Each structure stands twice: as C-alpha cells, then as structure tokens.
Amino acid sequence: MAKKIYSTYPMVKYLRKEALPTALCPGCGGGTVLNAFANAVDQLKLDPKDLVVVSGIGCSAWIASPYFLADTLHTTHGRAIAFATGVKVGLPDKKVVVISGDGDLASIGGNHLLHAARRNIDITVILVNNFIYGMTGGQVAPTTPFGAKTTTSPYRNIEHPLQISETVAAAGASYVARWTTAHVYQLIESIKKALQVKGFSLVEVISQCPVQYGRRNRMKEPAEMLRWFLKNSVPVSKAKDMSPEELEGKFVIGEIVNRTRPEFTTELNKLIDEVQEHFGLKEE
C-alpha cells in the first residue's frame, strides 16, 4: 500500500520520503491539511526552495516538519511564529509558513500570534484547530467547546473557547479564513490566497481528532466528526445576521478578513533605506 502511494500519489514529490510514513493517527485531519498545503503549493507552482516551514510542538506541528520537503524549523512549544519572524526578516523574498496546532499557536503561543498579526509581518499561518491537546493525551484546550469532555475536564468543560480567527482579524492581520477538513477545495483556495497576500495571513482549519477528542464526545469515527463539521458550519455571510446564541457551537467558515495594510519587512527595509539616505551612507 505504502509503496503504491509513493509511486502514484502526485503530491509525494513535496514530501520527505525518508521521514514517511507519518506519525499521525489513523483518521487524523492532519493528512488532509498536509495534502491541501501541498496542493496549494503545486497549483501556485511555488518552488519548495522558496519556502521555509516553521512549526512548534504537538501533532499538528509535525504535519509539515519534518514531512514537507523544504527548509523546515521545528521549534519550541508555542514559539513557532517568533522563530518565523526572524526567518522572514532574514529572507524577505521567501514564503515563510507556520503550520501548527491550536494548543501551540493560540494557547502558549497566543501572544506571538497576536503581535505578528499586529505587526502584519508577511508570514502565512496554517493553524490546525482540533479542540484538544492531542499529543499529550487529550487534555482540555482553550479551543475546547463549552461542555465538551476531555481528560482534564472529565465532567464537562466550563470554559469558553477562544475564537481564533476573529481575534487574529481584530489584531490586524491582512488575511484570515476559516475552513474545516470537510471543505478541502475551499481550504486549498484559501491557503493559495494566504500565500499570495503580502502581510500576515491566517488559515484556521477545524480538524478532527477522533482518537483524543471524538471518542470522548460521542464521535468515535472520523466520518462522524466530519459530518459534525458539515452540519454545524455556517458561512461568514450568513453568520453576520445571527445572534451569539444562535452561533453557539457553530463553525463560521469562509474569509473573515481580506485587506491591504503596510507589511512589516517592507516597512523595515524602507526605514533602513531612509536612515541610510538621511545619514549619507548610500554608496556614491
């Protein structure tokens, strides 16, 4: 089977073969995200040599590093975006992509996420939101739905989930979109857009974790989780006219924001030019 995939699956050219098979659990949405990202890169005809992929810690952090064949930086928990900031300043002409999970990017790394959006640095973040700490055994996350059961909220979760996309949009990102793993084609289109936007872009992917989330919340099978996503997804346009009560437990999907704002590395290099000009330091 594996051999067949290696010889017939067209996107395999983007993967680090010596790292395969992946460590992802059967039924995990991570494969869908990797597939969507590879397809986006392929459709845009991007050279992987022009990509640097950064990730933090957790299942979703493994999606692209080590599996995606590019320069990959697998960093400490929560800090992927801060590492990526240094990479982007050093290589402003490359596409710098962060792929990691909700626990990594929005919980411990929440501060870096907000400030990168505020700075509007040209980094594309693909945030895989599976509502749970998968790798550490299924503990409650800041994204876990109200009332859901996890190993550390065994009776029910009494905290409210963070609305990641809306928060990042409010912080100043250029582009924000949210899809689920049941919306693969839309997801690919959004990743393509995010990669082309000059500024901070976030694509939040609601993804299934049948092993740690699903089985504790009456959705043992991956397909059940995908059906849950489809049944509860509400397009942005429709969500506008809905009350917070009506939106409780729903997934708002689509483009949350798409706008042009001055980008950080461009401004930084512009500033350096101005300073060098001002002090007469340009080569005559």
Binding site for other proteins (CB under 8 A): 16, 18-19, 48-49, 52, 54, 65-66, 69-76, 79, 82-91, 94, 111-112, 114-115, 268, 271-272, 275-276, 279, 281, 283
**Distance in Å, CB of 56 to other proteins, minimum:** 10
CB of 94 vs other proteins, minimal distance in Å:
6
Shortest spacing between CB 60 and other proteins, in angstroms: 15
User: For residue 226, which phi and psi values (nearest 5 degrees)?
Assistant: -65, -40
Nearer to other proteins by Cβ, of 66 and 210: the residue is: 66
Please state the closest distance from residue 198 (CB atom) to other proteins, in A: 18
Nearest distance, CB of residue 64 and other proteins, angstroms: 11
51, β-bridge pairs: 95
Q: 77 or 250: whose CB is closer to other proteins?
A: 77
Q: What is the 3-state secondary structure (H, E, C) of 215-279?
A: HHCCCCCHHHHHHHHHHHEEEHHHHCCCCHHHHCCCEEEEEEEECCCCCHHHHHHHHHHHHHHHC
Question: What b/e readout covers 39-49, taking b as 16+ CB neighbours within 10 angstroms?
Answer: bbbbeeebebe
43 vs 276, which CB is nearer to other proteins? 276
Orientation of helix 184-196 relative to helix 30-43, angle to 10°: 50
Of the pair 71, 166, the CB lying nearest other proteins is at: 71
DSSP character at residue 19: G
- Alpha-carbon span 232 to 227, nearest angstrom: 9
Pairing of strands 175-180, 95-101: unpaired
Q: Which is nearer to other proteins, 159 or 274 (CB)?
A: 274
Based on CB atoms, which residue is closest to other proteins, 71 or 189?
71
The H or E element that residue 89 is part of is helix 80-90
In the complex, least distance from residue 121 CB atom to other proteins, rounded to whole angstroms: 10
Residue recorded with tokens 């693909």: 126
